[in-house]
Amino acid sequence: MSRYYEFFCPVKVIAGEAALEHLPYELTSIASVRPMIVTDAGVRAAGLLEPVIAACTESDVTFAAIYDEVPPDSSTTTVREIANLYRQQQCDAIIAIGGGSSIDTAKAVNILVSEGGDDIAAYSGAGVLTRPLRPFFVVPTTAGTGSEVTSVAVIADTERSVKLPFTSSFLLPNAAIIDPRMTLTLPPHITAATAMDALTHATEAYTCLARNPLSDAYATAAIKKIGRSLLAVMDNPDDVQGRLDLAEASTMAGIAFSNSMVGLVHSLGHATGAICHLPHGLCMSLYLPYVLEYNLEDIREPLSELLLYLEGPEVWAATPASRRAETTISAVRHLRDELHHRCELPRTLRETGKVKQSQLDNIARQALDDGSIIYNPREASLKDVRSLLEKAWG
Amino acid sequence: MLDSFSRSAARRARRQYVGLMFRFMGHALEAISRFDKTVIDEARGMPDGLVFQMTVLPSGPALAIEHTGDGVLRYLGSRYDGPVDLSIRFKHLAHAFLVLSFQEKTVEAFANDRMVVDGDIALAVRMTRILNRLEAIILPRLIARRAIKEYPAELGLLEKLPGAIGVYRRVAFSMIRDLRKEALSQ
Ligand SMILES: [Zn+2]
């Protein structure tokens, strides 16, 4: 546990029933009259724009521009295009509606329209921004990434084929609007994978080197909600309270990990995502139990504590203290089995059908250079990572 | 009066210590990249000509090294002011002192937000591994355990001792040469 820590989350959270209807008030209260929506075709096709637009028009707030073509892997070209639209239409606020890609894109657009210019790459890195950006709101439509409360964005520079990272607390939105209506129609396998991402955020935040008492509180609260509601939502997708639980858990896990970082599960997940093009949430689900096993002796105490939140007081009390850490790992495995049973979410690299054994060396090497590995409690060597991948292969 | 005098003397000593440690690390990195296979392999993964700087905000002390290619590192001195590709900046001298006096591990300093990284994170991670390896080799095991996450299991005395002696000898030579040059130029 750190002897020193920092904790920061200035994002107003607007959550629960009829949360969307608070958006027009938020916009008027900062005198925005020409807001812009940034979203993707999937969100539009799922009919998720309607409730937002309806809520705003009813309060006489109209949108000056709607961009609904954010691709799954957003690029500098998209960012430039949207920034131009914002300027043409003289917009004065940005509302991102969607998952990680739309939110990251909107963050980058906000840099360009606030700081000027066309070259988003010039603002890449840490601490480049020195002043607040334009008003920015996020309405998440997945429950997993936590991007609505993180101060990072990653945008692909397709011309130079590199990924540009942006880190600044000025990227944080003014508010995140969490409305269960926005995740109600999320298909089962995405519900499962994104919830496993949130579970991983919370678990790594709670067990890695930069943990602190404030992020611990968010992490445990997130795990409790996921433990209680994930399978319930899988069985009954229209469970509004369960959907809200997962969305809130995702935001809380986001607050936790943006303050105490993540570890080896994410290092492996980032590498696998880049090399095999698997969705991030699925990668998290694939690696979580194996990494917990690998870290076990260094995280026995916090992992034992997590059993209480994941499985509830009865299971916790019935498990001898010396077995609680192992039982937490079994609970995660059990959860993965249940998800596999309900929506065929793969549990091993082999089950994905998209990873070749010949790619494992490459994944291991790339994982070793991932920034999150710094915060992993154990110093993972190439050999460690390689044998972990062998186990995760299945 | 005496109290404030000794406090400022302590602060001056701390600054000198950090400066000296940076200088030592610069020479040691140069030396170790000539014979330690682990460091050479790690350094090979960095672009040729990459300049890495570790510094203390707002104005030093600092340490700059260059990867001249093929895993070889070159110490650029404490006053390097050319372009930098990757930098790790301590927010305060006190934080640099905590790390360089082995009271806080480098990874702890990362976790505790003691420093700001600018540049490719993958290279910063690689550089951290090189610094860890350096500490594992040159520091007595007891102190090294306080400085790094996990002491490398395969690093026995047989590998460590000649390595450490090699580094210390080369560092001693080049530091004396440096100090002499500085004395002459003043
Ligand atoms: Zn994640």
Tens digits of per-residue pLDDT, A11-20?
999 999 999 9
Check pLDDT > 90 for residue A373.
Answer: yes
Q: Does A116 touch chain B (CB under 8 A)?
A: no
Report percent pLDDT > 70 for chain A. 99
Task: Tell me, yes or no, whether A216 and A96 share the same domain.
Answer: no
Q: What fold, for B2-185? A: Nonspecific Lipid-transfer Protein; Chain A (3.30.1050)
Task: Tell me, yes or no, whether A177 and A191 share the same domain.
Answer: no
Task: Tell me, yes or no, whether A198 and A333 share the same domain.
Answer: yes
User: How much is the average pLDDT of B144-156?
Assistant: 77
Nearest CA in chain B to A270: B122
Name all contacts of A106-111 with Cβ < 8 Å and 24+ positions apart: A106/A38, A106/A82, A106/A136, A106/A138, A107/A136, A107/A153, A107/A166, A107/A171, A108/A74, A108/A76, A108/A79, A108/A153, A108/A155, A108/A166, A109/A38, A109/A79, A109/A82, A109/A83, A110/A134, A110/A136, A110/A171, A111/A166, A111/A171
Task: Tell me, yes or no, whether A194 and A158 share the same domain.
Answer: no
Contact residues, chain B, for A375 at CB < 8 Å: 107, 110-111
With cut-offs at 50, 70 and 90, classify the pLDDT of residue B162.
low
Per-residue pLDDT tens over the stretch B55-106 = 999 988 999 999 999 999 999 988 899 999 999 999 999 999 999 988 888 8
Higher-pLDDT residue of B145 and A350 is A350
Task: Tell me, yes or no, whether A118 and A218 share the same domain.
Answer: no
Task: Tell me, yes or no, whether A154 and A200 share the same domain.
Answer: no
Q: Among the residues of chain A, which ranges form H helices?
A: 23-29, 41-45, 49-57, 76-88, 100-115, 188-207, 213-235, 240-260, 264-276, 280-311, 313-318, 324-343, 349-352, 360-368, 382-393
User: For residue A160, what pLDDT is reported?
Assistant: 81
Check pLDDT > 80 for residue B174.
Answer: no
> Could you tell me the strand order of the sheet in which A152-157 lies?
A125-126, A162-167, A152-157
Task: Tell me, yes or no, whether A55 and A121 share the same domain.
Answer: yes
Residue-number span of the structural domain to which A197 is assigned: 186-393
- Where exactly are the structural domains of chain B? 2-185
pTM, two decimal places: 0.91
Does residue A6 belong to any structural domain of this protein? no
DSSP A142: S
Task: Tell me, yes or no, whether A262 and A338 share the same domain.
Answer: yes
Task: Tell me, yes or no, whether A342 and A374 share the same domain.
Answer: yes
Nearest CA in chain A to B148: A379
Contact residues, chain A, for B122 at CB < 8 Å: 369-371
Domain end marker among A152, A181, A210: A181
Give residue A27 CA to ligand 1 midpoint distance, Å: 30
**Nearest chain A CA: its distance from B146 CA (Å):** 14
Nearest neighbour of B122 by CB, restricted to A6, A210, A369: A369
For residue A310, the Cα-to-chain-centroid distance in whole angstroms is 19
Per-residue pLDDT tens over the stretch A232-281 = 999 999 999 999 999 999 999 999 999 999 999 999 999 999 999 999 99
CB A111 within 8 A of CB A154: no
Higher-pLDDT residue of B164 and A356 is A356
Check pLDDT > 90 for residue A159.
Answer: no
User: For residue B158, what pLDDT is reported?
Assistant: 60
Q: Are A369 and B148 an interchain contact pair (Cβ–Cβ within 8 Å)?
A: no
Q: Are A374 and B110 an interchain contact pair (Cβ–Cβ within 8 Å)?
A: yes
- Overall domain count for chain A: 2
A152, containing H or E segment: strand A152-157
Task: Tell me, yes or no, whether A32 and A90 share the same domain.
Answer: yes
Per-residue pLDDT tens over the stretch A296-353 = 999 999 999 999 999 999 999 999 999 999 999 999 999 999 999 999 999 999 999 9
Check pLDDT > 50 for residue A1.
Answer: no
A:B CB pairs within 8 Å = 58
Contact residues, chain B, for A373 at CB < 8 Å: 125
**Nearest chain A CA: its distance from B150 CA (Å):** 6
Domain end marker among A124, A152, A181: A181
> Could you tell me the strand order of the sheet in which B115-118 lies?
B72-77, B62-69, B51-56, B86-90, B115-118
A311-345 per-residue burial string, b: 16 or more CB within 10 A, e: under 16: beeebbeebeeeebbbbbbebbbebbebbbebeeb
Domain end marker among A181, A200, A224: A181
At A14, give phi and psi (nearest 5°).
-115, 105
Task: Tell me, yes or no, whether A210 and A355 share the same domain.
Answer: yes
Per-residue pLDDT tens over the stretch A194-220 = 999 999 999 999 999 999 999 999 999
Nearest neighbour of A209 by CB, restricted to B107, B116, B128: B107
Sign of CA dihedral A172, A178, A182, A183: positive
Check pLDDT > 80 for residue B125.
Answer: yes
Averaged confidence pLDDT in chain B:
86
Q: Does A159 touch chain B (CB under 8 A)?
A: no
Check pLDDT > 60 for residue B1.
Answer: no
Q: Is the ipTM of this complex over 0.85?
A: no
Q: What is the CATH number of the domain that holds A258?
A: 1.20.1090.10
B74, containing H or E segment: strand B72-77
Q: Where does residue B141 rank: exposed (0-12), middle (13-18), buried (19+ CB within 10 A)?
A: exposed
With cut-offs at 50, 70 and 90, classify the pLDDT of residue B7.
confident
Q: Does B150 touch chain A (CB under 8 A)?
A: yes
Averaged confidence pLDDT in chain A:
95
Q: Are B125 and A368 an interchain contact pair (Cβ–Cβ within 8 Å)?
A: yes
Q: Are A209 and B108 an interchain contact pair (Cβ–Cβ within 8 Å)?
A: yes
Interface test with chain B among A209, A268, A298, A362, by most B beta carbons within 10 Å: A209
Q: Are B125 and A373 an interchain contact pair (Cβ–Cβ within 8 Å)?
A: yes
Between the CA of residue A93 and those of A64, A119, A168, A179, B71, what are the distances in Å? Answer: 10, 20, 19, 20, 49
Report percent pLDDT > 90 for chain B. 48
Does residue A249 belong to any structural domain of this protein? yes
Check pLDDT > 90 for residue A222.
Answer: yes
Higher-pLDDT residue of A127 and A116 is A116
User: For residue A85, what pLDDT is reported?
Assistant: 98
Contact residues, chain B, for A2 at CB < 8 Å: 108, 111-112
With cut-offs at 50, 70 and 90, classify the pLDDT of residue A389.
very high
**Which amino acid does the sequence have at B97?**
F
User: For residue B171, what pLDDT is reported?
Assistant: 72
User: How much is the average pLDDT of A93-108?
Assistant: 96
At how many degrees (to 10) do helices A360-368 and A382-393 cross? 130
Report percent pLDDT > 70 for chain B. 87
Task: Tell me, yes or no, whether A176 and A47 share the same domain.
Answer: yes
Sign of CA dihedral A140, A143, A148, A153: negative
Between the CA of residue B28 and those of A120, A125, B95, B173, what are the distances in Å? Answer: 39, 29, 21, 11
**Nearest chain B CA: its distance from A19 CA (Å):** 35
With cut-offs at 50, 70 and 90, classify the pLDDT of residue A95.
very high
